[in-house]
Amino acid sequence: MNAFAPDSSRQGDGATWDRRSLRWQVMMAVVAINLCAALAAMVVTIVNARRATEVEITSSLTIAERFVEETLERLADREGGAASLAQLPLHVSGLRHVRIHIEDAQGRVLDVDPGAHAPAADEDAAESEVPAWFVALVRVAPEGRDMPVVENGAVVGHVRVVGEAADEIAEVWHDTSDLAVLMLAVNIVVLVALYLVLGRLLAPLSTLAGGLNALGEGRFGHRVPVPDVRELALIAERFNALGAALNQARDDNERLNERIIHVQDDERRQIAADLHDELGPCLFGLRANVESIHRLATRAEPELATRLGERTATMAEILDRVQHLNRRLLRKIRPMALGHVPLGTVIGGLIADFERHSPGHRFQMSIEGLAERYPDSVELTVYRCIQEAVTNALRHGGADRIAITLRAAEDGRMLALRVEDDGVGMAPDAEPGFGLIGIGERLSALGGTWRIAPLSPRGTRVEMSVPVRVGAGDEARILAG
């Protein structure tokens, strides 16, 4: 295994953490810090409890040892040895943190007063209230003292004093549990307050994220409210300034693109006019001269007449090709009928040309609500859109039936175009051709839209919208249809 290979499990954990919300990450970080602090506090508490318990047990054993010695001395002075050993349990009971066992010389444990059992019973009860794991952590090694009872030079019994930490552990447990409950309540209050505060602080970020989505969708007029937090207010102000700048840039870009379209249309119109007005008469004059030469050739000698007839026929053929090329260029650059006859009539002529050149295909055309005249850029755009969509349906779609629908909006400010065919349609991953891309760029420059959608069970639908923006020079040209 490569030692330098990335740990996929760690990457997955990091990705999971990064996908969480900022509020969730902050809350989890605070909880983790509190858990670490609680663990550290528990360790410190246990260490201090063990130390305190050891000190307390040692002190209790020392006190108990002195107390037993003094008690034995008093009993020895007052009574005989046997009597003092028998009376000893009555005088050494009730000591804290220790347990005392009295044995005679034969090793029998002497009975003590029932009240003497109370401390041991209390210690057992206290220990039973403490969890076993806490007792195991705090409990110290048992420590004891063995004191012989000597009377008249003879050992008559033993007193065994053993340290007992149960009640000390119980005290530590009660203090620790009470503090833990208090800290838990405080942490809950802090987490709730932190959750609410973070929600209020992060709400502007959610609003800002929505604003960024709006900008990504092209809605540059979207604005976000300015929050009270200074840092977030600065971000919101910068966002609004960015939106205003993008909106202004888009408007400038649209005006520039529209201006470019108008300039291009003007150039196309001028070139088309030059081809029609200049080249057309020249071609007509050439044809007239060729025909004149052909007539004169008939008067020459037979051999010369034949040769001249062949040359004039070749020239006439070349003129036919040039005139056909000229007409094709005119239709490609700008149909001469645009701007001179109603748009619906021009579209009808375009469909008629398709019918003549594509026999065996069915064409349906529906035109509703059109005015007689529109701005040059609008008429040329509609013409090119229909021309490109129908050409694609015939050339690439293999369609048998093509339906063209062109409608004007009620307010006359939008033209809706739809071209449907029953061809093979477009593959899901197919990219539009250069023709449609060019049409899309032209529509975008005019503020229009377009989209391609499949039809069921087969076929393609191309939908386009062309806004009608009437300028001062165009108003006089637009007549109600």
**What tens digit of pLDDT does each residue of 123-135 get?**
455 556 778 888 8
Instruction: Determine contact, residues 459/425, Cβ cutoff 8 Å.
Output: yes
pLDDT number for residue 453: 85
Least confident of 41-55, 137-151, 442-456: 137-151
pLDDT number for residue 84: 59
The secondary structure of 351-363 as a DSSP string is HHHHHHHSTT-EE
Contacts of residue 159, defined as CB under 8 A and 6 or more positions apart, other chains included, come to: 68, 72, 88, 92, 100, 101, 102, 146, 147, 148, 149
**Residues 21-32, mean pLDDT to the nearest whole number:** 85
d(CA 383, CA 388): 9
Q: Does the pLDDT of residue 472 top 50, yes or no?
A: no
pLDDT number for residue 405: 92
pLDDT number for residue 403: 92
Instruction: Determine contact, residues 480/474, Cβ cutoff 8 Å.
Output: no
Give the model confidence (pLDDT) of 200-239 as tens digits: 877 888 888 888 888 888 888 888 888 887 888 888 889 8
Q: Does the pLDDT of residue 306 top 50, yes or no?
A: yes
Confidence of residue 477 (pLDDT cuts 50, 70, 90): very low
pLDDT number for residue 475: 43
Confidence of residue 376 (pLDDT cuts 50, 70, 90): confident
pLDDT greater at residue 155 or residue 452: 452
**Residues 47-60, mean pLDDT to the nearest whole number:** 83
**What is the value of pTM for the model shown?**
0.49
pLDDT number for residue 90: 56
In the chain, the amino acid numbered 209 is A
d(CA 101, CA 109): 7
Instruction: Determine contact, residues 87/124, Cβ cutoff 8 Å.
Output: no
pLDDT greater at residue 444 or residue 335: 444
pLDDT number for residue 87: 62
Least confident of 92-101, 321-330, 362-371: 92-101
Q: Does the pLDDT of residue 242 top 60, yes or no?
A: yes
Q: Is the bond into 302 cis (omega within 30 degrees of 0)? A: no
Instruction: Determine contact, residues 432/359, Cβ cutoff 8 Å.
Output: no
* Cα torsion 89, 94, 95, 99: sign: positive
Q: Does the pLDDT of residue 438 top 70, yes or no?
A: yes
pLDDT number for residue 480: 38
Least confident of 112-116, 229-233, 351-355, 465-469: 112-116
Q: Does the pLDDT of residue 340 top 50, yes or no?
A: yes
Return mean pLDDT, the chain. 78
Confidence of residue 42 (pLDDT cuts 50, 70, 90): confident
Least confident of 88-97, 183-192, 406-415: 88-97
Confidence of residue 3 (pLDDT cuts 50, 70, 90): very low
* Cα torsion 272, 278, 280, 286: sign: negative
Q: To which residue do tokens 């102000």 refer?
A: 237
**Residues 24-44, mean pLDDT to the nearest whole number:** 89
CA dihedral 38, 40, 44, 50 (to 10 degrees): 80
pLDDT greater at residue 336 or residue 226: 226
Give, in order, the Cα–Cα distances in Å from 160 to each of 100, 149, 446, 449, 478: 6, 11, 107, 102, 122
